[in-house]
Structures are given as structure tokens and as C-alpha cells.
Structure 1
Amino acid sequence: MDIISTLVDRRQQLLSALGQHLSISLIALVIAIIIAMPLAFWAARHSKAAAVLLQIAGILQTIPSLALLGLLIPLVGIGTTPAVIALVIYALLPIFQNTYIGITGIDPALEEAADAFGMGRWRKLRKVELPLAAPTIIGGIRTALVLIIGTATLAALIGAGGLGSFILLGIDRNNTALIVIGAVFSALLAIILSALISWLAKQRWQWTAGLVVLLILGVGGTQIASRVNQPETVVIAGKLGSEPDILINMYKQLIEHDDPHIRVQLKSNFGKTTFLFNAVKTGSVDIYPEFTGTVLETLVKQDRTAAHLTAAQTYTAARQALSKQFQMTYLQPMAYQNTYGVAVKRRFAQDHGLTTISSLRNVTDQLSAGFTLEFLDRPDGYQGLKKVYGLHFPTHSFEPALRYAAINNGKVNLVDVYSTDSEIVQYKLQVLRDDKHLFPPYQGAPLMRTAFARQHPGIVRSLNKLAGHITDKQMQQMNYAVNVRNESPAKVARTYLTSHGLLKGGD
């Protein structure tokens, strides 16, 4: 019943995600066919080149999808373009390989008979080779299609939308219904399109080509039309989690309230910090909320650590480094501190007398930690726990929301947390005091390119309204409203802004 009610409530969002997923998948499939099939026809008569091309296609398919997306963002930005490029790369091998096998596997006697009838190369390809190789070629296209649709769920990590947005949101909110909806509809899409390809293979090739052309024109025309006669669009993105989602909705509502001629496009639940930072550098994203400690510890080059600095000193150092090294503007931060911490279950803390991070040294032989990949690699994360506190214990890497499920289910007994996470209350965790001051201050503030800030002083004024607002407790309550009470981030954001006089209640 929970799945059905979620399906009903989010039907418009699902239709949009299906359209995005279908668009990305079909564009990638058509491009892969256009590249791979002609290459395979040529390689069928050049065996040495065929071996090289097969090896290259195989190597390309072994590149991890997240790594490939991360490499593409600095080159082509975010959204549909890098997603399509990545999907094309993964689809090349099955299409090229099956086309090559289909052509080279034709009985030589039939080839000789075609030559005896005086058929030229292209006529022989169209009249003899393609019909005979068609079943094998269609098999490769179907395999590529299923691969594309499955991999396209990762497109949501770089702002391209699709059914992956349901899966990522479900993982982040610990909402099984959203995960099931995203996975089931992705599988249904693969089954339906695979069956459609099989049906088209039995029709006249003119009908198939015509349908492909119509699909391309339809997808392209829709995307062009969506960009014509539109007000200026500002792209704002946020990392995974309810808190960035709430913040970017606040940004959107403030900007559009103050200037109705600007349309804000939100790209929520972006993947990693580096994805977003590179997207701002390339201009694919205009604004995103970043934390002062993250800037100093991860994004800029500096001689000193952010530990032992005050919140004001951390912000000043971050703002100056961003301006000097990347020509970026970092607006005034909000009041709350969303700093890192490590937490255990309250009962575990009571049973072992744990109150500080240093006290973990007494139970290192009993610890099994679940940390995010980012925390594992950060100098103010697990690397800092080893260096500053001398702690060494087994660790497991998790996506942010999954680490909470892991500690709640007893799979691990220590996790990294953000101080405003609603799960601290929800799962009855105790955050251990950072008695050696490893974790620097983390205040959130809008980050944008300096050129963008100069061109949009009104947006800067709108976003500066949040400076000094939102306490730790208020942020934790808003996260709780989204994660536990299932309120929408937009509604939670508007409630805060109106109740604190930053928006008029009727707007």
C-alpha cells in the first residue's frame, strides 16, 4: 500500500523521470548504433583492425561509471550531455561485437554466390549480409539497450534526471517505496523497449528507420522547445541529502520571490562534492551550498588545516582562497554548524563509558565502523582519527543514508554523522565529543563564480538574506520533517522562510 500511495502522490514526478530516462536511453542507443555498426562493417574486412577495435571497446566498458562521469564533468559539464556520452561508451561493445560476429559468421559459399551474381559491396551488404546477420545484430542492440537503461539510473547523480532520481532519493530517505518504484519502472522500460526492438526487426527497414527518425526529432524538438522563449534560468544544485535539498529550495524561493523574471532550475541529490565543484567551475551549475570546513579541507590549496580556527576565521580563509584560486564568490554563511562527528548507539556508549572520541581507544577491538567514502578519505575524517587520535579499527564504506541503516541493524557500531542529521534523534545515537578538536567549523553558504555574482547582484542580495539565520536545532528539525515526517523539502523551506519574515506568507 505504501508503494501505491507513493506512486499516486508522485505520478507527475514519475512521468517526468520516465520521459528523461527514455530520452537519454534512446539518444545514446541511436548514437552507439551509428558509431558501432559502420565500424564493424569496415572491420569485418580488416581482421587486424577488428582485434584492436574490439579490445578498445572492451577496455572502455570496464571504466567504472562514476569515474567516467567524474572525468566528463570538467570537459562537458553536467546534465544530459555527459550522461549520453557515458552511455554511448558502454553500448559500443555489444553492438560492435555482435555486428562483427554476424557479418564474419556468414557462410563463405553465400558470399561467393553473391559475388558470382555480380553484386557490388554495398548491394551485397544490403541484400545478403545484413539479412543473414540481422538476428545477431539485433541481439547486440537489445543487450546494449538493457545495459543503457540500467546504467542510465546513475544519470541522476549529475543532474540529468531519470528514474535514478527515485532510487537515489529512496536510498537517502530510507524510503523503500521510492527505491522499488525506480527499479521496477527501469526494468519495465528495458523489457518494453527490448520487445519493441524485436518487433521492429521483423518489419520493413523503412518503417524502422522512420520510427527512429521520429523519435530523434521528437526528443530533440521537445528539448529545443523547452529552451525557447523562457525567462533567464539559474541552475542551483545540492548534494545528496535532505539538508542540501531544503537549502536549495530556500535559494529558489528567495530568488524567484525577489525577481519573477528569473526561473530557477533545481538539481537535487547530486553525487559528490567534487562533481558539484567542477560543475560550478565549468558553468554547468550557477550556485550550490557548500560548507566552510569542506572548502578548506578538500577544495582549496592551503598551508594550514582548518582545525583550531574559529568559525569566522574558517569562513574568511575559505572565502579568500576561493576568490584567489578559482575566481569564486562565497557569500555570508548561515548560523548553524553542520560539523562532522562520530556516533555510537546510546546503549553502547553507556555500556562502555564512551563520551569522547578519545575514549574509543578503550574499545577499538570491538569497533566496526560504517563511514561514507568521503569521510574515509578526508584529512578531517578517518585519516584524521588515525593521525590525531591514534585510532585504528575495521571500516566499511556506505552511501550516506545506508550507514544509518547499518548501525540501526547492528551491522556496524560506529558511524560518521553531521551534527544536524535527523537520524541522530531517530536512531537514538550519541555523538562523541571531539576532545582534540579534529573537526573544523562547518557553516553553509552559497558558492558561485565571481563573474556570475557580478552579473546578478539581485541574486546575491536575495541569498544574503539567509546570512546568520538557521540554528543547529532548527536545521535538525527541518531535516526531521523531511526524512521522518516525509514532508517535501520545498514545503519545509517555505515554512521556515515565511515564519521568519524572509518571504511574505501569501507569496
Structure 2
Amino acid sequence: MRVVMAVLLLLAVTACGLRPASSFVPPVEPGSIRPIPALEGTTVRVTSKEFTEQLVLGKIAVLALTAAGADVIDQTNVQGSVNARASLTRGDADLMWEYTGTGWVTYLGQSKPIPDPTQQYDAVRDLDLRENGIVWLPPAPLNNSYTIGVTRATAEKYGLKTMSDMTKIPVGQRTYCVDHETFGRDDGFLGMLKGYGLQYGKDVPAGNVKRVSVGVLYNSVASGQCAMAMVTTTDGRVKALDLVLLEDDRHFFPQYNAAVTMRRQLADAHPEIAKLFAPISAKLTDDVIRELNAKVDVDGGVPVLVARDWLRSQGFVK
């Protein structure tokens, strides 16, 4: 109970918009990441979206590039996927972590996800380079996918195991909490309802859907403000709040493996960046990123310090 109360308090603070300054970067010394002479004097502008996992990944990129000798400009913490991505395609930023499914569906407008993670990566890598000049480095194992999360009590009450089981909840009690951005995306809430044969406005009345910020989403379902919430599988609050994740038995959601993306000009000029991130990406599994996310959202850690401590623990920096 103490853990849950601490999480709820932290989420209330986060919902008020209190976040550490994005420009703060602690000093690091090279570890297994050695200074790369070709990066000396090279300016790299790193961006990210505003949610916890993206902040942690963005700070990992900032610190790794700094340790390698680049002149890094920290532009992390951009509101919204589309805005962060646009900064890259416009040339206002050079590098960011992105997710294969988001790239494929949201940015490249593809309606059919590819279930195999390798084939999904290959497809988004090739099309994004051809159409937008964006280079995708090999992805991390972590797959930050969506699913429906419920409390353990709700799962037991209605016998919920898969997302198809959502229909076991009577229409009147079939309530959802959804974050603002995810609500209308093709790979988001409305798309998911359609994929599971549910009509918005009928099977799921509009009044049954509460749109909230990501900061209060998990608190909302845990506290009973809605029966179900559209959550991400690698969020650290899932375990802290003892939420049950329903299986995507119709395989609606794409693979969302995280990968470093960058402008072709930077990739061509500095191929050594791919070698820099390869061992880092390889260590970022679902369990690892879930733990790092929890250090921020549950324990109250600062994303850049969480990123630095992890890089230190793996010997990448000192």
C-alpha cells in the first residue's frame, strides 16, 4: 500500500507538469565508450518526445555522444510524437530514438503492421530512408507496445485475459481511460476498437471514454476512474500498481522496437555513430527499460541521472 500511495503522489506531481530542466547534463567520463576523433567538434542535436521512456532514451543518447566527444545540444522533451519527428525531418534536430511501429503507421501512413519484428524494422528502415532521408540504426530488443491494462480486481471480476475479453464487461461499465495523443491514432485507441470489432459510439459510448494526460493515465485506472486503460507494456507503473495487461490476441498493435534514427547527412558523415549505439541498444530489453522507467515514475528519479547511472552500471561511462 505504501508503494501504491507513493506512486499516486508522484503521478499527481507529474500531472502538474513539474519536470527537471531538459538542458541539465551531468559530466561523464569515457568508459567502454572511447572518444571518437571524428566526432570532435561535431554538433549533434538530440531530440525526444516528452514521456518518461523517451526522456530516458534521449538522455542516454545525449550522454553517450558526449562521452564520445561530440558537441551535443540537448533538445529532448518535445511535446507529441509528430512534433518531435517533425524536428528531425525539418532538419531542426539530428537524432532521436523512435519506435518501428510508430514510424511505419503514424509517419509513413502504412495501414497494415508487420508482425515479425525483423521484417517490420527492415520495412520501416528502407521506406523512411527512401521517402524522408531518415536512417534507422538496428533496433533494441525492447518492444514498447500498447495493450489494455486493468486492475487485478477487474480482471478477476470479469474473467479478463485477452483484449477480446473486453466485451465481457457490460456496455454501461465498459469505460476507458486514454491519453490525448493515442486516442485518434490509426495504431491507437479508435483503431484498436475497430480492429476488435467494437463500434465507437455504440459498443463503446463516447461518454465512456475519458481522455487524460499520460501522467495521470495509470493512476486513473488504478483508482477506479475507468475499468480499462490503454497503456504501454514497458511502463514502470504497471508493476508498481499491480495492473494486469491483456493479451493482444488479434495482434492489432505493431511491433514497437526502439531504434536510434538520424538524418542521412549525419549518418553519412559519421558512420561511427552506428558503432557507438550498437552495444547500448543490445542491452535495452523490456525488463531493463521497465526498470529504468520505474526509477523515474515510481522512485522519483531524474531521467538524465537514471540514464547516467545505467550507462555507468554497464561500464559505458564513468
TM range (shorter): 0.7 to 0.9
2:16 aligns with 179
Contact 2:184 2:191 in 1 (8 A): no
| Amino acid in the other structure paired with 1:322 | D
Normalised to the residue count of structure 2, the TM-score between the two structures is 0.82
Gap change, CA 1:329 and 1:417, over 3 Å in 2? same
Any stretches of 5+ residues in structure 1 without a counterpart? Answer: 1-170, 183-229
Q: Which has the higher contact order (CA 8 A, sep 6+)?
A: 2
Match of 1:243 among 37, 45, 53: 53
| Amino acid in the other structure paired with 1:316 | D
What is the CA–CA distance in structure 2 between the aligned matches of 1:285 and 1:378, rounded to whole Å?
A: 24
Gap change, CA 1:420 and 1:177, over 3 Å in 2? closer
Match of 1:350 among 145, 153, 156: 156
Q: Deviations over 1:204-241 (max 9, x none)?
A: xxxxxxxxxxxxxxxxxxxxxxxxxx954321111122
Contact 1:255 1:463 in 2 (8 A): no
| Amino acid in the other structure paired with 1:245 | L
1:452 aligns with 266
Show the 5 A alignment for 1:397-408: 397-408=211-222
What is the CA–CA distance in structure 1 between the aligned matches of 2:297 and 2:14, rounded to whole Å?
A: 14
1:234 aligns with 44
| Amino acid in the other structure paired with 1:406 | S
Match of 1:294 among 84, 87, 102: 102
Any stretches of 5+ residues in structure 2 without a counterpart? Answer: 1-7, 20-39
Show the 5 A alignment for 1:56-205: 174=11, 176=13, 179=16
RMSD: 2.3
1:197 aligns with none
What is the CA–CA distance in structure 2 between the aligned matches of 1:181 and 1:413, rounded to whole Å?
A: 28
When Rg is computed on C-alpha atoms for both structures, the one with the higher figure is 1
Gap change, CA 1:349 and 1:494, over 3 Å in 2? same
What is the CA–CA distance in structure 2 between the aligned matches of 1:316 and 1:232, rounded to whole Å?
A: 29
2:139 aligns with 333
Contact 2:12 2:216 in 1 (8 A): no
- How big is the shift at 1:354? 0.6
Normalised to the residue count of structure 1, the TM-score between the two structures is 0.53
1:384 aligns with 191
What is the CA–CA distance in structure 2 between the aligned matches of 1:348 and 1:178, rounded to whole Å?
A: 25
| Amino acid in the other structure paired with 1:500 | Q
Q: Which has the higher helix share?
A: 1
Q: Deviations over 1:110-150 (max 9, x none)?
A: xxxxxxxxxxxxxxxxxxxxxxxxxxxxxxxxxxxxxxxxx
- 1:257 paired with 2:67, answer yes
What is the CA–CA distance in structure 2 between the aligned matches of 1:338 and 1:180, rounded to whole Å?
A: 23
- How big is the shift at 1:417? 0.9
- How big is the shift at 1:464? 2.6
Q: Which has the higher strand share?
A: 2
The residue matched to 1:305 in structure 2 has which SS?
coil
What is the CA–CA distance in structure 2 between the aligned matches of 1:244 and 1:487, rounded to whole Å?
A: 14
Q: Deviations over 1:350-384 (max 9, x none)?
A: 11111111111111411111112332212222233
Contact 1:292 1:441 in 2 (8 A): yes
